[in-house]
Structure 1
Amino acid sequence: MPFRIFYRVLRLVLCANALTVYFVLHSIRTAILTTLAFSLLLQVAYFGSVLFLVWRSSCARGAGQRAEHFGSSQEDRHESPDYNEGEE
Structure 2
Amino acid sequence: MSRESLEEKFQRLAGIVGKKATRPHMSLSKKLELYGLWNQVMHGPNKRPQPSRMNPVAYAKWKAYKNYEHLSKEEAMKKFNEIAEKAMASSKL
Shared fold (TM-score greater than 0.5)? no
Higher helix share: 1
Q: TM-score, normalised by structure 1?
A: 0.35
Larger Rg, first or second structure (1 or 2): 1
Q: TM-score, normalised by structure 2?
A: 0.34
Which structure has the higher relative contact order (CA within 8 Å, separation 6+)? 2
